[in-house]
Structure 1
């Protein structure tokens, strides 16, 4: 018959210490091995828009730097809130991240009455990667060639400007223009960028405010006349179009930025690795050229801490503008 003897306390402590070291070693190995499988880059908008374009430009080179595939997954709906919420609810391990932008991340918290997540608490910022300005463009039949002429016209009659919908960046850019002009600027919201641009090019509204990449085809074929960039500098894609600052309205700043975010509680080593990889990718000449070919520019943060500050400042700025304008989205 075998008898069992109580394990001495010193042996118990040794076994516990050994188990702890094994667990620590396994954790360290897991961190060191990241990434070991494909990464999903979620886009909260349909294919073809600015967010999707940026995501597809960076996905392959990011995968090359990290050594695993980076797969773009479109999850459109509710101004990218649905796709972002999917990422918020994902395991915080760096394998499900999102390519977000100003409207869903910095503006929607102030224009949507019910948000399923708090972008400051439920997301971890990596860095911005690119930016593009909003462009104010008029139908070719409207006799306006400058911001000053547009403002003068708005003081004589209603000037209708289309946007991709209530509560987004183009809408708030129109509110900034309305405030600066003190004229009759009438916001005409559409269900998406496509219908808004189609009606603007068809002359059903006087003009449109949208991300520059979306309006560039209409500008190049002459159906839309570019008036002003809602920025403090010109765009290399349209070097002859003045900035709002040059046009005498330095407050008309509406720049759409694109940022990579991960779920909250993503381990810092994973965040650091993603930041380093994105920094390398966004300085690659072919990536810079692809962005510029699509009327966008690289826009990197010097650190994740710098991005956190930038993000908080954007939330405060656009929140104030949304509250003052009364811009809200009905849900």
Structure 2
């Protein structure tokens, strides 16, 4: 068979599958894997967007939590799932940008295992402490940590999580020595922080702002370069003695590589409409998240740039999975 005839044959065989994907997808429930336990920003955003997609597309969008190993267990499961449009993952800075460098023996290549679908939101991290910590602002926290190196413990949702990498960046910028306590997800970590078992964290607004507003935690600073409109009373870390400091996290949908392009485009179109609409966008903003939709290609370029940026931080800090 000549190359031309072989190409035509492949195109003819592929056409019905693409037509079905474009014309009838979804005709059964769609799974959104969150590679962490319930309660963290990844889970909160996945459930909020999934509920809107379910209403828009007429099929259940079921969130499945598969936590463990800093998100690598759930991420690997998605990488090995059928590329049929019925498995998605809510990826984030840790699973897509940090883990490829942090975990050096992954059985899959994050750079080639997924098709980017859409960047969902960016979320500023908030540095918070338990009320028993004698620090009222970022400067006092830095002074306390320097006076007692290694005595302040901070929690994260696991090695390579957004809280972990943000606090490492903060430690590098300020020269403080903090003790990292990794958990199997943000939810369990928040429970221990509120109970006073650990003393601090720096993670996204969705799980942080409610206990701050209830007086259960004390907010010291925000990791973005500008204050949050929904929490304007909290100063930025950059304006609190760490000039230029920025360590925001982000979240976006990806699919197993080879997922039909019409499916990716449809999800992108619907999610973009939802994220820029009047129902979800204000809700995200109230929780410290900023909707950031764009094309699949722009999300792919963003992931590559973030992988390079945070990979350098991992190497500089000589980070290892605990």
Which range, TM-score by smaller chain?
Answer: 0.7 to 0.9
Match of 2:41 in 1: 50
How far apart are residue 251 of structure 1 and its match?
Answer: 4.5
Match of 2:3 in 1: none
How far apart are residue 291 of structure 1 and its match?
Answer: 2.1
Structure 1: gaps spanning 5 or more residues: 1-15
- SS at structure 2 position matched to 1:56: helix
User: Does structure 1 conserve the Cα–Cα contact (< 8 Å) formed by 2:37 and 2:67?
Assistant: yes
- Residue deviations 1:235-261 (CA, integer Å, cap 9, x gap): 233211112232242453222211100
Could you tell me how far apart the structure 2 residues matched to 1:254 and 1:20 are? 46
Match of 1:8 in 2: none
Could you tell me how far apart the structure 2 residues matched to 1:71 and 1:210 are? 25
Match of 2:310 in 1: 318
Selected match of 1:116 from 107, 124, 140: 107
Could you tell me how far apart the structure 2 residues matched to 1:251 and 1:20 are? 53
Selected match of 1:288 from 278, 281, 301: 281
User: Does structure 2 conserve the Cα–Cα contact (< 8 Å) formed by 1:235 and 1:295?
Assistant: yes
Match of 1:86 in 2: 77
Match of 2:219 in 1: 226
How far apart are residue 32 of structure 1 and its match?
Answer: 3.1
Match of 1:258 in 2: 251
State the superposition RMSD in angstroms: 2.6
- Residue deviations 1:290-324 (CA, integer Å, cap 9, x gap): 323433221222x2221111100110111111111
Match of 1:37 in 2: 27
Could you tell me how far apart the structure 2 residues matched to 1:193 and 1:206 are? 14
Match of 1:157 in 2: 148
Q: Call closer, same or farther: CA 1:250–1:274 in 2, change over 3 Å.
A: farther
User: Does structure 2 conserve the Cα–Cα contact (< 8 Å) formed by 1:173 and 1:252?
Assistant: no
1:64 aligns with 2:55: yes
Match of 2:260 in 1: 267
TM-score (norm 1): 0.85
Structure 2: gaps spanning 5 or more residues: 1-5
- Residue deviations 1:196-247 (CA, integer Å, cap 9, x gap): 3344334444422222222223312323211111111222332111122322
TM-score (norm 2): 0.87
- SS at structure 2 position matched to 1:80: helix
